[in-house]
Structure 1
């Protein structure tokens, strides 16, 4: 028996409209149909999916001031400067990778950390 693929990551959000704005509008992810009735939204990202699930208390405590050392979801992107400009225009918090590699981190409206890497 072995694991054969990676299918999705689920994260908790408190306000689905704000989360959909961040993941759909700011990051530009493609929303897909979901077969469940509980509140949430799914996005397709290449061969995997990101599942947003509504929770009344999704708050996150950071274990480190360096966002990459905390639980996070990571996406590969083709234009780091373009994404940086988009995040800044949307007023999103930004932290560049401490290692100096071409990556940055941001937080969604609930504080979930998202890594965006051009590697």
Structure 2
């Protein structure tokens, strides 16, 4: 196995001397079948780099095992989707006017709203939910990007974007279309929480 050039050990050692809390970093490149570089982190108490190709190979295999483990753990966990998105609101009734009155979402009455020490509501979005929570919001309402696609947001898939545009226009709620040209738009709820709605086949 061909091993690419490493960072000069003097530089690594000098870095450790400057800040012993940082692990020494040395770089190597795998065989030609790999198109990316691996970054191996060595603990600060290691005073010398691997002195042989065998040691280098062991460290490389450890990195590969770590990647394989991550994949198998994901398989074992079995991610199935997003259960709900929690949204902070200042006034629950005002938020419900938007989510129910404008968007037409339905309340999930199987999720009791009196089990938590704050007011809230659970709304169905397909098989997932939005959880409105009447709690102080640390995020500012002003100074946010005009286009919601440049702000943090959650995305909801829909089958037809036209009725949504009509509902937002009727309510006087501003929105911007996706800059990518997709049938998608971005809008904000009364608390400046950003939502993307994308039309999918």
TM bucket normalised to smaller: 0.7 to 0.9
CA distance in 2, matches of 1:12, 1:87: 21
Q: Which runs of 5+ in 2 are unaligned?
A: 1-75
Alpha carbons of structure 1 residues 3 and 52: separation in structure 2 relative to 1, 3 Å: farther
Please identify, of 72-81 and 109-118, the stretch whose mean Cα deviation from structure 2 is larger: 72-81
Which residue, 15, 18, 30 being the options, matches 2:106? 30
Please identify, of 4-13 and 65-74, the stretch whose mean Cα deviation from structure 2 is larger: 65-74
With normalisation by structure 2, the TM-score equals 0.54
Q: How many positions carry a matched residue from both structures? A: 119
Q: Which runs of 5+ in 1 are unaligned?
A: none
Alpha carbons of structure 1 residues 117 and 60: separation in structure 2 relative to 1, 3 Å: farther
Q: What is the aligned-residue RMSD (CA, Å)?
A: 1.9
Alpha carbons of structure 1 residues 71 and 60: separation in structure 2 relative to 1, 3 Å: farther
CA distance in 2, matches of 1:29, 1:73: 16
Q: What is residue 157 of structure 2 aligned with on the other side?
A: 76
- For the 8 Å contact 1:60–1:112, the answer to whether it is kept is no
- For the 8 Å contact 1:29–1:45, the answer to whether it is kept is yes
CA distance in 1, matches of 2:172, 2:131: 23
CA distance in 1, matches of 2:160, 2:120: 28
CA distance in 1, matches of 2:145, 2:78: 30
With normalisation by structure 1, the TM-score equals 0.88
- SS of the equivalent of 2:192 reads coil
Which is strand-richer, 1 or 2? 1
Q: What is residue 8 of structure 1 aligned with on the other side?
A: 84
What are the superposed Cα offsets for residues 44-66 of structure 1, whole Å, 9 maximum, x if unpaired? Answer: 11221110001133544666443
CA distance in 2, matches of 1:49, 1:26: 17
Q: How does 1:1-119 map to 2 (within 5 A)?
A: 1-5=76-80, 6-33=82-109, 34-35=111-112, 36-37=115-116, 38-57=118-137, 59-60=139-140, 64-119=145-200
Comparing both chains, which one has the higher relative contact order based on Cα–Cα distances under 8 Å and sequence gaps of 6 or more? Answer: 1
